[in-house]
Every structure is written in C-alpha cells, then in structure tokens.
Amino acid sequence: MDNSTRAMILGTGRSIPEKILTNADLEKMVDTNDAWIVERSGIRTRHIVEPGTPLSSLAAAAGKQAIEDAGLAVTDIDLIILATVTGDMKFPATACFVQTLLGAENAAAFDISAACSGFLYGMQLADSLIRTGTHRNILLIGGEVLTSMVNWEDRNTCVLFGDGAGAVVLGPSQQDRGILTTQIGADGNHSKLLYNPGCGSINPPTPENARDKLHTLRMEGREVFRHAVVCMSRSMKKSLKAAGVAIEDLDLVISHQANLRIIEALAKRLKLTEGQGYVNVDRYGNTSAASIPIALDEARRNGRIGEGDMVGLVTFGAGFTWGSSIVRL
C-alpha cells in the first residue's frame, strides 16, 4: 500500500473525571490497604465518574479537545470510531451519541469492542480507511466507565479500574510522519480468563443474574499477567520488524496501563532504557481502551514527545486481544 497516504495523528485530547478515589477510600469499602494495592498494581489513585454519568459525555469532551488540537472544525470529521466495552446502552452505538454531542453532522459513527485493545484495533481500521481514500478526517476515541461494571465487593478487581476517555484525530499524511505499522491479534481460547458474563444473550438481565452480579467483570489475574507480557512483547517486536526500526529508535513506548508490574515486566523483555517507557497507571488505574490515548495526549502536552518523535504503542486485553503500532508524530 502506498505509504504516501498513510494516516497521521493531527490532534489529541483526553477527558478525566474530577472525582478521585484513593487507596485510603477503598480501605473503607473492602478488605484492603494501600500497601497491598500498591505492591500488586502500582496504583495509588483512580478517577471515577459521578453515578449516572454516561460514557458519551467523556468521549465527546476528549473528542472536542482532539479536534481543536488538530485545527479542524467539527464538520470536517467524516467518521467517529469509539472503542469501548462500557457504552451508554446496548444500542444504538455510543459513537452516535458522541456525534450528536459534538454536532459532527457529516460523520458516520460506530463502536468497536476489543476491550483494552480497542484503541489500537480502531487505529488499524482508521489507518486503512484513510489509506484507501474512503475517509479523510477520522475521530478515534477510546473511552470507558469501568466503574459501572466493577464488583465493589471484590477486592482483587475493584482496586484496579478507573474511568476516562482519550482521543486522536487521524488524517492523511504526505510526509514521513504517520502510522508506520499496526499489528493486531486475538486468541478466543482464553476468553474466560477476563470477561463480563452478564447483560448479553447468554445471561440476559434478570433479577437472578443481577443478584449474582453477572453484570460485573471477572478476571484471573495471574493468567492475565502471564499472557499479557508475552503477547505484548511478541506484538511489539513484530511491529518493529514491519516498520524497519529498532527498539532503541523509539523516543517513547506507551504500553497499556493495566498494572505497574506488567508494565515493568514488558519493559524488561523489550530492554527499554530508563525513561523510554511511560507510566501513569499510578494516577489513573486501568482505564481499558482509554489508557493509551490518555497517555499519548498527556505525553504530548507535558513535553515528553513532540513532532517528529517515534512512538511505540502496545496493548493487551480481554478476548484475549492485543495490538501494537509504530507512529511518527
């Protein structure tokens, strides 16, 4: 495919709820303590929405910021892709609500569901659409209100997750900047290691299923850890090879902010130098599909990366799913 038409990042944005839930707060809710949480996850705080806050409001705010950063009008956007597993409702797509909130009247809109890998799944799709010329300015958002599906009685999972949204605007590049490669994959054999069993056709909403909290997520943490490190390392190496660059050529590597131990184990496998990785899981927790675009926007705005820098993105999520990308900003 002609690299002259590759997609590039024109702008970024993020939206983080104001309310902060600390480890001290969680000590009052479940049998846990700050030292236990930090040792196992590296998380100290996470941002959470007020009850009843829809994902669409966070996603639209992040999208608006990204469009402004790109120097475009809302009407310039011709497609909105929202990666999420916590949409406003089963249907229609939450991206349609985002379209209305933004006033993006010229944009088609749909959601994709690939859990924590959703943003990079969306990036590959958006890049392909821009390369083929069917779309020009695509708003890609990763957003979650994970607190809506957390079991607040399960100390092993409720301490891990936060809410938020991050966004990028992608458009055609005629330069050496842009998405050099994106690699995605999946293995459904491990779907029961990280999943939400309720609210679908298998376990529809009933009083009995609500009583059994089937609407909340389940996770086998040790198995997820083991697979996450291996799959992300393998995926990143494939993307590096496809892009024709070495790990030391990357100015920054942003991995999915799921757990500090996973981030550190991946950094060791990839032999990242000190300062080459990015960490904000300590402040936001695991925001699933939102974690990479939130970190990307934060890193741009705090000066860690800028125009011309090469960035590696890598993720892993339920499914299992995974993905990676090499991007020159």
Q: What is the pLDDT along the chain (329 residues), one digit of tens a residue?
A: 444 589 999 999 999 999 999 999 999 999 999 999 999 999 999 999 999 999 999 999 999 999 999 999 999 999 999 999 999 999 999 999 999 999 999 999 999 999 999 999 999 999 999 999 999 999 999 999 999 999 999 999 999 999 999 999 999 997 889 999 999 999 999 999 999 998 889 988 889 988 989 899 999 999 999 999 999 999 999 999 999 999 999 999 999 999 999 999 999 999 999 999 999 999 999 999 999 999 999 999 999 999 999 999 999 999 999 999 999 99
Contacts of 178 (CB under 8 A, 6+ apart): 6, 7, 8, 9, 327, 328
Could you state, in order of their start, the residue ranges of all structural domains in the chain?
7-175, 180-328
Q: Specify whether the CB–CB gap between 40 and 261 falls below 8 A.
A: yes
Residues marked active site are found at 116, 256, 286
Q: Specify whether the CB–CB gap between 243 and 183 falls below 8 A.
A: no
Residue 274 has, within 13 A of its CA and on its CB side, a CA count of 0
Homologous superfamily (CATH) for 7-175: Thiolase/Chalcone synthase (3.40.47.10)
Four-way CATH pick for 180-328: 3.20.20.70, 3.40.630.30, 3.40.640.10, 3.40.47.10: 3.40.47.10
Rounded-to-5 percentages of helix, strand, coil across the chain: 40, 25, 35
Neighbours of 208 (CB within 10 A): 9
| Residue the block writes with tokens 């303590």 | 33
